[in-house]
């Protein structure tokens, strides 16, 4: 959610604990402005702070306690400043176990990823993002090779089975999203014409002037409302993307705690965390404390530092091929889903 802030100093970290427990989260930008402190949790795990001279996109780390068991929900946005992933790597190294998301199976080793042409295509797109926006993608910035990382997600066969059982596809999710966009309780950026125009103006300004900060300002408020949008798309019956995957996380968490571990993190996209928070509280965990980590620190470039973004976008044929391939795959899935829905 969007909040306003001046240049307010960060308070001492409320997650600081004795050495026997999980140490405090580390904010990669200690001097960044923050809103008057409203800690994450209670359904809110990502926020946009709109300061006078700087804007922030932040995600939450929230602790839940049941007896001597600690479970931290560590939210993430998948594209962020390198310093954000550095801070997350520091934080995640301090747990006995980190349950992480990745549809399809365990994270492949770096050598395996480099040898896979499909992954190489995706990495090419990530390289473009880094070049244009100066940000990293999560799978490039996070160290998944650590021994305390435990895969807690569905594989592709489970994804297909669950999608068929629920009769859900990319097309049906798109239909839900469109229905949300047309409803009265949709987020403002979908329904308010002035808000939509402001976002469009920032995008155009960023592209035409080479001001990357304007591009980020256009996208960050949208990401801050992602939880609301996801909740609406989930509806009463849920989806494979959130509900079913969160069931898997909780199953893995149960086995992990039963094994005797007492200090565990669930490292998932921030949009998953409101539902996971409900599931933890249903099992007797209570929220204790939380902190915000800065994922995007947005400031205008110094004079003369703007770049020709169009040239950056289209100079590398491999990147263009990768982007075209990804769009074609998305269109194929939409077409397949539409065909299935019409009985063809």
Q: What's the pLDDT tens digit per position in 215-264? A: 888 888 877 776 666 665 556 666 667 888 899 999 999 999 999 999 99
Give the residue carrying structure tokens 């997600």: 153
Select the highest-mean-pLDDT range: 34-48, 76-90, 183-197. Answer: 76-90
Residues 130 and 312: beta-carbon distance below 8 Å:
no
Whether the pLDDT of residue 286 is over 80: the answer is yes
Give the residue carrying structure tokens 């790597």: 89
pLDDT score recorded for residue 11: 34
pLDDT score recorded for residue 21: 46
Q: What's the pLDDT tens digit per position in 79-106? A: 899 999 999 999 999 999 999 998 777 7
Residues 69 and 334: beta-carbon distance below 8 Å:
no
Burial of 344 (0-12, 13-18, 19+ CB in 10 A): exposed
Select the highest-mean-pLDDT range: 59-68, 153-162, 307-316. Answer: 59-68
Residues 212 and 297: beta-carbon distance below 8 Å:
no
Whether the pLDDT of residue 341 is over 50: the answer is no
pLDDT score recorded for residue 300: 81
Q: In this predicted model, which residue has the larger pLDDT, 330 or 37?
A: 37
Whether the pLDDT of residue 272 is over 80: the answer is yes
Average pLDDT over residues 2-29: 43
Per-residue DSSP letters for 257-307? HHTT--EEEEEEEGGGHHHHHHHHHHTT-EEEEEEEEEEEEE-PPPTT---
pLDDT score recorded for residue 89: 95
Which two structure tokens, joined as six digits, stand for 10? 């960060």
Domain extent listing, the chain: 35-179+240-341
pTM of the model: 0.71
Q: What is the DSSP letter of 102?
A: -
Whether the pLDDT of residue 141 is over 80: the answer is yes
CA torsion angle 198 202 203 205 (round to 10): 130
Residues 291 and 13: beta-carbon distance below 8 Å:
yes
């Amino acid at each position: 959610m969007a909040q306003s802030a001046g240049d307010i100093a960060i308070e001492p970290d409320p997650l600081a604990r004795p050495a026997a427990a999980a140490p405090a989260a580390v904010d990669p930008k200690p001097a960044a402005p923050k809103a008057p402190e409203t800690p994450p949790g209670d359904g809110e795990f990502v926020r946009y702070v709109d300061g006078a001279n700087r804007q922030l996109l932040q995600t939450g780390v929230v602790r839940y306690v049941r007896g001597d068991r600690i479970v931290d929900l560590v939210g993430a946005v998948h594209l962020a400043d390198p310093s954000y992933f550095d801070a997350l790597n520091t934080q995640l190294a301090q747990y006995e176990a980190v349950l992480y998301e990745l549809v399809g199976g365990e994270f492949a080793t770096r050598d395996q990823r480099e040898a896979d042409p499909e992954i190489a295509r995706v990495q090419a797109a990530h390289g473009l993002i880094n070049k244009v926006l100066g940000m990293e993608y999560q799978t490039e910035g996070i160290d998944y090779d650590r021994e305390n990382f435990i895969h807690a997600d569905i594989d592709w066969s489970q994804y297909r089975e669950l999608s068929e059982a629920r009769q859900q596809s990319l097309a049906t999710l798109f239909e839900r999203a469109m229905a949300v966009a047309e409803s009265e309780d949709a987020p403002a950026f979908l329904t308010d014409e002035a808000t939509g125009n402001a976002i469009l103006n920032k995008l155009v300004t960023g592209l035409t002037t080479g001001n990357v900060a304007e591009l980020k300002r256009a996208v960050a408020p949208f990401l801050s409302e992602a939880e609301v949008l996801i909740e609406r798309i989930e509806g009463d019956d849920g989806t494979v993307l959130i509900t079913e995957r969160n069931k898997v996380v909780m199953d893995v968490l149960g086995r992990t705690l039963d094994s005797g571990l007492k200090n565990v993190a669930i490292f998932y996209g921030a949009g998953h965390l409101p539902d996971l928070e409900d599931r933890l509280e249903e099992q007797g965990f209570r929220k204790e404390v939380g902190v915000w980590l800065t994922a995007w620190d947005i400031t205008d470039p110094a004079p003369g530092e703007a770049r020709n973004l169009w040239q950056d976008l289209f100079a590398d044929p491999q990147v263009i091929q990768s982007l075209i391939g990804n769009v074609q795959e998305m269109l194929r899935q939409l077409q397949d889903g539409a065909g299935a829905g019409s009985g063809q």
